[in-house]
A and B are shown apart, each in its own frame.
Chain A
Amino acid sequence: MRSPALDPGARATAAQALSVSVATGAYGVSFGALAVAAGLTPAQALALSALMFTGGSQFALVGVVGAGGSGAAAAATAALLGVRNGLYGLQVAPLLGVRGARRLLAAHLTIDESTAVGTAQPTPVLRRLGFWLTGAGVLVLWCAATALGTVLGDALGDPRRFGLDAAAAAAFLALLWPRLRERAPAAVAVAAAVLATAAVPVLPPGLPVLAAVLAVPLVLALRVGRRDTPPGAPS
């Protein structure tokens, strides 16, 4: 048996995991800066990155706190945004097949990026490799970047000047892109983007993203793409 490190497939998976980790981790600088600007201490910002470890919820929490929202509203928004990680858990648990302490760790590493890279790999071995490498890589770099961000916060000034907000949008688009090959997901994506945008002026920060999940029953009711490849088939 060849070493996985020499396998071209494993190398491609590792390269993808690394680039996702670096790109996402870099964005942690802006999280650290924004958290401190919102009034959290550097230790609290770092604790969020290490313990909450789900960027959407973290940005939502400091956004609500920074906008003067209540702690309960901040916690509720963060938790609601974290619901999707539960859905990711449903998806990745069968791929990983782990128990005990490893399952507890796998749950902690279940985020957008690890799920996206893991599920995008062609074989079961590479799916596990992609999940673990991306989860661990993002965790380490995300925490290091958060620490850096809390220090650089003032020096960096507005993260928008460096286009970090656009980088976040592009990162989510890059994660979405490979899932749009069929009609139903493409219809869901368009409907969800429209719903979320329409909800921005109406709902408190954080909730438009959750409201967009209504795109799924909508598209299923319209039976868009009912002849798409059945689930389980390679995509």
Chain B
Amino acid sequence: MTGWALVLGASAACYGLKLAGHLAPAGWLQRPTTARTAALVTVALLAALVAVQSLADGRAVVVDSRVPALAAAALALALRAPFLLVVVLAAAVAAGLRALGWP
């Protein structure tokens, strides 16, 4: 599977997964355990994305300019900064450190 077949096939699979969630029986989330588990799965995926986005370099775990950038973002969030400021601040810290020669 290459080129357009990959693009369209994988896109169809991703859409199918989104739609499956919308078409699932309404009763599914009425049960407190299901609702709680679904919310915790979201938290797990987001936390994992934060970790992988800030520490993974291919198959290696590295500490580079992304880590202080993420710390700055966390500080900004603790101070209730708006979303865009948090994201721009993180980019600016990483870009600044790299301009200074950090990895």
Contacts and interface: CB of A to CB of B under 8 A. Distances in A.
B70 A166 contact: yes
A193 B95 contact: no
Contacts of B47: 176, 188-190, 192-193, 196, 212, 215
Contacts of A219: 40
B11 A169 contact: no
A169 B18 contact: no
Given A163-B91, A177-B77, A172 B50 contact: yes
A167 interface: yes
A74 interface: yes
A19 B82 CA distance: 8
A231 interface: yes
A22 interface: yes
Contacts of B29: 90-91, 94
A56 B61 contact: no
Interface in A83-115: 83-94, 103-104, 106-108, 110, 112, 115
Contact of A170 (B6, B36, B39, B87): B87
B17 A82 contact: yes
A231 B48 contact: no
Contact of A89 (B1, B19, B37, B87): B19
A174 B70 CA distance: 10
Contact of A44 (B7, B46, B69, B90): B7
Interface in B63-94: 65-66, 69-70, 73-74, 77, 82-84, 86-94
Contacts of B38: 87, 90-91
B101 interface: no
Given A90-B24, A106-B22, A185 B39 contact: yes
A231 B32 contact: yes
Interface residues of B, number: 74
A201 interface: yes
B2 to A, nearest CB: 5
B88 A167 contact: yes
A175 to B, nearest CB: 6
Contacts of B39: 91, 179, 185, 231
Chain A: interface secondary structure? helix
A201 B44 contact: no
Nearest to A110: B18
B15 A51 contact: yes
A23 B36 contact: no
Contacts of B41: 84, 87, 213, 216
Interface in B5-61: 5-11, 13-15, 17-24, 26, 28-29, 32, 35-56, 58-61
Contact of B65 (A67, A166, A191, A208): A166
B98 to A, nearest CB: 6
A4 interface: no
Contact of A197 (B32, B51, B84): B51
A75 B22 contact: no
Nearest to A115: B42
Interface of B: 1-11, 13-15, 17-24, 26, 28-29, 32, 35-56, 58-61, 65-66, 69-70, 73-74, 77, 82-84, 86-96, 98
